Amino acid sequence: MDKQERKISIKINGQSKDKKEEQAPEKDEFTWVLPEPSSKDSHVEENKVVFIEDVRNEKKKKPRLHPKNVSIKTVNGGVIKRTAVIVLLAVGIGSGIGMVGVKMMTGSEQPVSKAQTSEQTKEEKAAQTASTTESVGKAEKKSEQESKGTSAAASTLEPFSFYIVQAGAFSSKTAANKAMDKWKEENEAGEIFSPKTYSLVVGAATGEEKANALSKTYKQQGKDVYVKSYEIKPTSELGKKDQTVITTAQPFMANLLDQSAKAIEGQRVADIKSLKKELTKVQKEASNEDIKTMVSTLQKAAASLSSYEDNKSSKDAWLAQRYVLKALQQYESLVTS
């Protein structure tokens, strides 16, 4: 059958126009001729046929794998291991740095040989022995002082002031002793006092006027002497009993200074017998050997003045001055050493 022609009516500005649809000419058809499959190929094709039910059953049988989860676990395990290794390394390095810092601050410890160790042990033992001996000595001394009532205490003694007649000052004790020996070849009195320098003291009195009178006597003999004030400040720690004895002896020492100075001038001395009795009492009260020696020297000065009182000999007067100077020197050594 012939196909009917299709008409299309189009109106343009109210006017209809007929258009015909023309069919394109038909192309010649080409028939494809395919070779028939062989028996072998048909067998392969048959084998390649897969039924849908079989595929479904196969999927159900096989477990599902989660490669992403497995990879995540593996990755997480590796991260944990690496983190642990880093932490351990950090702890180890930190500990090492800390130990090095401690050694640098406290000083490096070096191995000590056995010989050094034994020497150190001997030195330590010797030091301990010396310390023990010193402690025992101090304890014995303290016990002895307590038994005698002479335990050490801060000095409460007042400074002892007087005037001296000085014949020279020396920087060394040897030079001072040589000068004193030469002085005593011609004179009776003379002692070395040593507060800061070594002074050759050839006379003393409680007042400046009496000291000047002694100085005048020496100058009349052509001696180069001068008068100066002198003070002995107690600094030693003595027992309370010793301090009491010294305090009692001080007025007698001052009295003997003035009495001997008067005797050198040819004046009359007074009440020497009662002075001797008082010194005897002081001697009995003293327990310190140095104090006993000092009081004994004062007793010798009193005895010389007693002889002067009997015969008015100037030699006894100078001898009394000599003993008083010696007692003053002993007193200075006792309360300042």
Name the residue range of residue 214's domain: 160-336
CA neighbours closer than 13 Å in the CB half-sphere of residue 57: 5
Pairwise CA distance, residues 214 & 267, whole Å: 13
Residue 210 within any structural domain of the chain: yes
pTM for the whole thing? 0.55
CATH of the domain at 232: 3.30.70.1070
**Strand, coil or helix: 157:** coil
In this prediction, residues 244-259 reach a mean pLDDT of 90
Q: What is the share, in percent, of the chain residues with pLDDT greater than 70?
A: 59
Which amino acid, residue 277? K
In this prediction, residues 229-248 reach a mean pLDDT of 88
Residue 258 within any structural domain of the chain: yes
Residue 193 within any structural domain of the chain: yes
pLDDT digits (tens, 9 = 90+) for 128-149: 655 555 554 554 544 444 444 4
Residue 260 within any structural domain of the chain: yes
Residue 255 within any structural domain of the chain: yes
Residue 219 within any structural domain of the chain: yes
Q: What is the DSSP code (8-state) at residue 207?
A: S
Count of structural domains, the chain: 1
Q: Do 260 and 317 meet the contact criterion of CB atoms below 8 Å apart?
A: yes
Q: What is the dihedral of CA 311, 321, 189, 327, to 10 degrees?
A: 140
CA triple 62-65-69, angle to 5 deg? 165
pLDDT digits (tens, 9 = 90+) for 155-187: 678 889 999 998 888 888 888 888 888 887 777
pLDDT digits (tens, 9 = 90+) for 59-75: 555 555 554 444 444 44
Q: What is the share, in percent, of the chain residues with pLDDT greater than 90?
A: 17
Token couple for 109: 């410890």
